[in-house]
Amino acid sequence: MTQLSRRCALMLTGTLGAVLVTTLPVAAQQQAALPPGSPLIGRPDTDAAKRLAPVAPPPIPATADKLPIDKLKAPKGVTIEVYASGVDNARTLRLGDKGTVFVSSRLKDKIHAIVDKGGTREVKVVASGLYRPNGIVLHKGTLYIAELSQISKIDNIEDKLDNPPKPTVIFSDLPKDEAHGWKYLTIGPDEKLYFQVGAPCNICMPSERHAKIYRLNLDGSGLEVVASGIRQIVGMDWHPVLKQLYFTENQRDWLSEDIPEDKLNRVTQPGKDNFGFPYCHQGNIPDQEFGWGHSCEEFTKPIALLGPHAAALGMRFYTGSMFPAAYRNQIIIARHGSWNRSTKIGGDLVVVKLKPDGTFRSMEPFVTGFLQNNNYVGRPADVMVMKDGSLLISDDYNGAVYRVSYGPQRTARH
């Protein structure tokens, strides 16, 4: 090598080294700027994708006169009214034996109770200082609360609304990942607590503890795996005849604006069902990274597909008698609404009608209007059937609860 060529080689080496030194840390810093499990990890580096991000709710609940009740549409004969306002970050809805409506939150630290006192409704805090208390359920007078990493209870809660004690922890050995760490909680026909531990990521190979549905005895003992291969669940309910667990599941982001779709699933083989995450999405799309060596036929198929990124959350079988018979034992699902699509979908309630064997028959709109001109005026998070057959909807965007009834309107003050 001549002296000139040696000098050129050294200059080229130095230049490449400088490029690596100056560019690699920038990329590393950009990746490091996102916290673990951030929903923006994996977002494509395009102008269109960069405009997409999770939708933050307003900092305080909307007042009753500012709620979008006039924008909500439903089938003929259905009335929608405000049930309660000022319920900050209203999420899961549960009904006490004495008629108290309990409302959880995901972003705030409180559980609220809505008490109907002769037609006037009062909203009060019954638990505070909690962390991600999204999951709540009532059983024989006891309120069970699922936070990010623990489950607790308050006995005889409706007798203590004016002076509730601090919750008693019954199980605390849960992961503390923020991503998909919030829980949904239900009670099975076997009188056990059912909940999920979601995947701690958009897409990854989860640990043995993640991406599963679990159950516990009511005292916190006897932890068991019910199903695996789930990404994130924010709604479960039991078929009133078949006694099988149905649940909504949110699928992965950043694969496409139009795929995969969220799912409606059911557990038919407790302890054996695997719903495919992270290998397979929506029952028929192998993951581009983790799907190698697997077939979607290995996994439990969904009952129905619920729309791409529609964020299907709370769901209930309609067991009341107020609505027409066609709704009886069918599923009403709150679709919170997409954030990672240029043209948003969801922001509504849909009815999934099933065949007698529990398989899918059809899906149709029920309450629409939370999405206006590609912007949210509200976001439905959960639904609940009341004793009189009416339906409540929680709206975590506005901090409100709505009542849906069929037939002559009956209005209460709130």
Residues 6+ apart with CB under 8 A from 52: 43, 339, 340, 341, 342
Across all residues in the chain, what is the average pLDDT? 92
pLDDT of 320 higher than 50:
yes
Question: Lowest-confidence range among 8-17, 93-102, 380-389?
Answer: 8-17
- When pLDDT is averaged across residues 212-233 and rounded to a whole number, the result is 98
Residue 2: the pLDDT is 46
CB 100 within 8 A of CB 91: no
> Look-up: residue for tokens 């060529």?
5
- When pLDDT is averaged across residues 184-212 and rounded to a whole number, the result is 98
pLDDT tier for residue 316 given thresholds of 50, 70 and 90: very high
d(Cα 37, Cα 35) in Å, to the nearest integer?
6
- Cross-strand pairs, 285: 281
- When pLDDT is averaged across residues 359-370 and rounded to a whole number, the result is 98
CB 158 within 8 A of CB 115: no
Give the residue from 324, 313, 304, 316 showing the smallest Cα distance to 396: 313
Query: Would you tell me how many other CB atoms lie within 10 Å of the CB of residue 204?
Result: 19
User: In the numeric block, which tokens belong to residue 169?
Assistant: 């922890």
Phi/psi of residue 48, nearest 5 degrees: -65, -45
pLDDT of 3 higher than 70:
no
pLDDT per position as a tens digit, 87-131: 999 999 999 999 999 999 999 999 999 998 887 999 999 999 999
User: In the numeric block, which tokens belong to residue 41?
Assistant: 């990890």
> Look-up: residue for tokens 């037939």?
407
Residues 6+ apart with CB under 8 A from 356: none
d(Cα 136, Cα 149) in Å, to the nearest integer?
14
Residue 9: the pLDDT is 43
Which long-range contacts (C-beta less than 8 Å, at least 24 apart) are formed by 29-35?
35/178
Residue 30: the pLDDT is 44
d(Cα 188, Cα 193) in Å, to the nearest integer?
7
Q: Structural domain boundaries of the chain?
A: 69-86+313-414
Residue 237: the pLDDT is 98
Residue 28: the pLDDT is 40
Three-state DSSP class for residue 70: helix
Residues 6+ apart with CB under 8 A from 84: 101, 114, 121, 123, 400, 401, 414
DSSP string, 234-266: --EEE-TTT--EEEEE---SSS-SS-SEEEEEE
Residue 409: the pLDDT is 57
User: In the numeric block, which tokens belong to residue 259?
Assistant: 């795929």
pLDDT of 20 higher than 70:
no
> Look-up: residue for tokens 């490449």?
16
Three-state DSSP class for residue 210: coil
Q: What percent of the chain has pLDDT over 70?
A: 91
pLDDT tier for residue 36 given thresholds of 50, 70 and 90: confident
Give the residue from 87, 123, 68, 84 showing the smallest Cα distance to 413: 84
- Cross-strand pairs, 84: 401
